[in-house]
């Protein structure tokens, strides 16, 4: 039984670490984007997403279970995952054309 218990703890820890890494990736991408891209892309402001993803990152960090973390607020880690996934799947593609990295909307950058 102890091997099964150890495997469950490993999977549990891996899932919470995945949520934490997802939050880090989302907030790192947010930091690279200009504020004007959010308005141009028809999304909420950069400040809104910064606060939302910052709280999500803090909750995901606190939710990491022992032996790496304290394991508090574990039930809220799902909300952290949802916020990060919504940003990465919906907001990021919508603002990418206006960020100066993915080209201009409706055309290519061209040239060398």
Per-domain residue ranges of the chain: 17-97
99 contact partners, CB below 8 Å, separation of at least 6: 32, 33, 34, 37
Percent of the chain with pLDDT over 70: 88
Supply the mean pLDDT for the chain: 88
pLDDT digits (tens, 9 = 90+) for 45-88: 999 999 999 999 999 999 999 888 888 888 999 999 999 999 99
Asked if residue 101 has pLDDT above 60, the reply is no
pLDDT digits (tens, 9 = 90+) for 10-24: 998 999 999 999 999
pLDDT at res. 111: 47
86 contact partners, CB below 8 Å, separation of at least 6: none
């Amino acid at each position: 039984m102890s091997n099964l218990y150890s495997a469950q703890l490993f999977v549990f820890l891996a899932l919470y670490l995945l949520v934490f890494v997802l939050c880090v990736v989302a907030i790192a991408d947010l930091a690279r984007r200009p504020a004007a891209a959010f308005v141009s892309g028809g999304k909420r402001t950069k400040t809104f997403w910064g606060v939302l993803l910052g709280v999500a990152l803090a909750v995901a960090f606190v939710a990491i279970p022992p032996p790496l973390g304290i394991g508090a607020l574990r039930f809220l880690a799902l909300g952290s995952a949802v916020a990060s996934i919504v940003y990465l799947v919906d907001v990021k593609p919508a603002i990418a054309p206006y960020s100066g990295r993915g080209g201009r909307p409706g055309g290519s950058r061209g040239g060398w």
